[in-house]
Amino acid sequence: MSTLVQYFRDIDMHDLPQVGGKNASLGEMYQKLTPLGIQVPDGFATTSEAYWQFIEENQLRDPLSELLSQLDRQQFSNLEEIGKQIRATFLEAKLPTEVQQAIREGYTYLTEHYGEDISLAVRSSATAEDLPHASFAGQLESYLNIRGFDNLLNACHKCYASLFTNRAIKYREDNKFDHVQVALSVGVQLMVRSDQGCSGVNFTLDPDSGFDQVVLITSVWGLGENIVQGTVNPDEFYVFKPTLKRDKQAIISRRMGSKEQTMVYASNGSGVFNQPTPADRRDQYTLTDEEVTTLAKWSVAIEEHYQRPMDIEWAKDGNTGQLYIVQARPETVHSTKEDLLEIKTYQLPKAGKALCQGYGLGNKITAGKARILHSPTEAHKLQEGEVLVTTRTTPDWDPILKKASGIITDQGGRTSHAAIVAREVGAVAVIGAGNATQVIQDGQEVTVSCAEGETGYVYEGILDWKESVIQLPDLPLPETQVMFILGDPEQAFRLATYPNHGVGLMRLEFIINNAIQIHPMALCQFEKVTDAAAREKIEQLTHHYPNRADYFVEKLAEAVAQIVAAFYPKDVIVRMSDFKSNEYANLIGGHDFEPPEENPMLGFRGASRYYHPKYQAGFELECKAMKRVRETMGLENVKLMIPFCRSLTEAEKVIALMEQFGLIRGVNGLELYMMTEIPSNVILAQEFSEYFDGFSIGSNDLTQLVLGVDRDSDLLSDLFSANDPAVKKMIREVITVANRTNTKIGLCGQAPSDDPAFAQFLVEAGINSISFNPDALVAGIKNILQAEKTQEATDEAMQVTHD
């Protein structure tokens, strides 16, 4: 057997010094993984010995050393010239006869197995005896769609020359590698006809957050070089590993890319080129769910084989429909990070001229150009990173708010829509500033500071501020469960790494606004939508779905699943939709299904909607989505919560309806919770405990209804306080009843993070859990830890007194 060529069937990772990391990995996969059903195209690799024979027979060592000695290693002013001369010298040399013969033997082997008309991928892989871990990724050349033996020899020759591309020379200089000690192996692999199919790249973790329980699959039509080069926007799929292993439907997120270009083989010989993707193919997914699942399972098997996160290239042959793994390499960003988890804190050493002030949210500082918008129709004026200034926001502003680095409103309180969404998208916000739209000029540079307590300030100009870091591992979790209030799936993977016991309140409203946009009844009863523009928009959004209602179910299920998977197996308590009628009306097609109400806050909302003929079909879609998450997708850590349940009769009706829709309390571990936000919920807590497994105190609505204060009223904001004795008495009462009836009880709200005394009150009362917005988590944990320490000291003192 020739020592100048090795076949994939004979190569594994022990051969890395001879064939380089890329080819050693291909051989390892072909040897070890094809028996598991993972398809890897066959091939062979020239060895480092073949490269050194090329160098010696052409007497290139001295000319190479001479040219490299002339390299300007300070400014690299002559890098291009030196590189060009070395490559020319290599290309003028001849491939040794023995090397050509060894490559011919490999080529003959492939044609005998796959036919004379094969196409080959020819890739460079750097190697050296003393540099086994040097990857040289992206520094060398690959040649695709190589046909015929002569073209193969030419491609191998060019691969040798590519060891001295300008970028490869600079890479080795930067990393202190000796140029003349590095050899090159050429991998020759059967080319999959993905020009007629599709291809892509998989990561066995989320590349943005490092969350390692998912596989990210990206895919484009044609050859995968368009993904590698970043030329097109691919389809994306997230697959959840734990439920994948249980053979559940584990795709928790999918996003269709625009896929503008398709890279195909040149029809007149070797090479590839890009052509525009036909409109109908741009508007469909490149992979079926079954193919996504197969690729995910293969990726997990590859990760388990290598015992580390992997970056994997794959291709689908458009003629045969077969999937193949064509490359695998270690993921090198998150898998090598050793940074401790941390949260930043902010301080403004010197305040400037304050333009206005209001409720401060976000515990951060930001700065940028102010952009005054009067309605969502002006969204195009807001550039990424600018500070949005407006009178007030409603749910139809949600997609816009994510672009803003800061949010300033004239109106609204700490629990208004703008405040809630600002927390969910992680923005810095000053809410209820009164006259912000008058005192701030459009385009003016401002600094928004919410790091100075409950009051947020807007300062003139861009100021300097200090940032410091809290290491999260230094922050222990208290006995009282600390949970998140969360609605944005895009934050879930990152937030799941923070200290927490799960999600105590996941609102569906954010998802319906952003991922779905359409009123559910407009999907169930499309014929009743009267607005032509709304009808057109609904048809545009749902045209992939034969049944429009399936659009709502799939979008809601996958957005919820992304959050639930991030925190799996911890509890995620999903609150069924709690829009008010005026908010529902703002969804596409919503005006045809919502009644006009004088006071929507106390109107057609929560449980009363679910069994009413005006919304029951919409509630059925919500239930179908949750059933899919729990049963089809296998995420049983979802608990479901009913908001604004006014009476025991309503509890009976809603629970009976959920059973009718396949969500039965106690079956498959399903637990039902109730928002405790109406005085009747407290007064009849013992009776409600027979219907529900848990209560969640909604302190904002409870405060509003106990005190008779509109929570959004600027005029009455001084009266609105969860610290009011009447409110605290109600909270203590329901906690007492919950503990007596073994009903889980938590609280969702800002007060325990803003006010240590309120946290102390909750701990003393016996609360099981407290849920915080992400920006308030650290302050909340600290307040609870201090409260538990105080409570423990009090208990010990009482014990001593008793003794």
Residue 570: its pLDDT value, please?
A: 97
- Which one-letter amino acid corresponds to residue 358? G
Residue 343: its pLDDT value, please?
A: 66
Tokens of 594: 């919502």
Annotated active-site positions, please?
417, 748
pTM for this model (two decimals): 0.81
DSSP line for 366-387: EEEEEEE-SSGGGGGGPPTTPE
Residue 414: its pLDDT value, please?
A: 55
Residue 468: its pLDDT value, please?
A: 73
Long-range contacts of 545-548 (CB under 8 A, 24+ apart): 548/523
Mean pLDDT, consecutive 10-residue stretches, the chain (803 aa), reads 88 91 90 93 96 96 94 88 95 96 96 91 77 54 91 96 88 83 94 94 86 94 80 88 97 91 84 91 96 98 94 93 92 58 76 88 89 87 92 69 87 62 76 90 94 83 84 81 91 87 95 93 96 96 94 97 97 96 94 93 94 97 98 97 98 98 97 97 98 95 92 81 93 98 93 88 96 86 92 78 64
Residue 44: its pLDDT value, please?
A: 97
Q: Are 391 and 409 in contact (CB under 8 A)?
A: yes
CA-wise closest residue to 498 among 479, 480, 476: 476
Cα(462)–Cα(796) distance, integer angstroms: 52
Q: Are 235 and 283 in contact (CB under 8 A)?
A: no
Residue 426 in 3-state DSSP?
A: coil
Tokens of 646: 């006014």
In eight-state DSSP terms, residue 56 is: H
Region at 714 (left for phi over 0; alpha for psi -120 to 50; beta for the rest): alpha
Pairing of strands 694-698, 744-748: parallel
| CB contact set of 97 (below 8 Å; sequence gap of 6+) | none
Residue 514: its pLDDT value, please?
A: 86
Instruction: Convert 346-370 to b/e letters by CB count within 10 Å (16 or more is b).
Output: bebeeebeebbbbbbbbbbbbbbbb
CA-wise closest residue to 315 among 220, 188, 206, 186: 220
| CB contact set of 182 (below 8 Å; sequence gap of 6+) | 126, 127, 128, 131, 134, 136, 163, 172
Residue 131: its pLDDT value, please?
A: 45
Cα(26)–Cα(193) distance, integer angstroms: 18
Instruction: Give alpha helix (H) positions in 207-288.
Output: 225-228, 241-245, 279-282
Q: How many CB atoms lie within 10 A of CB 85?
A: 17
Phi first, then psi, for residue 115 (nearest 5°) are 100, 160
Residue 258: its pLDDT value, please?
A: 85
Cα(315)–Cα(330) distance, integer angstroms: 19
Cis upstream peptide for 569 (omega within 30°): yes
Residue 129: its pLDDT value, please?
A: 43
Phi first, then psi, for residue 698 (nearest 5°) are -90, 95
In eight-state DSSP terms, residue 441 is: P
Tokens of 692: 């529900």
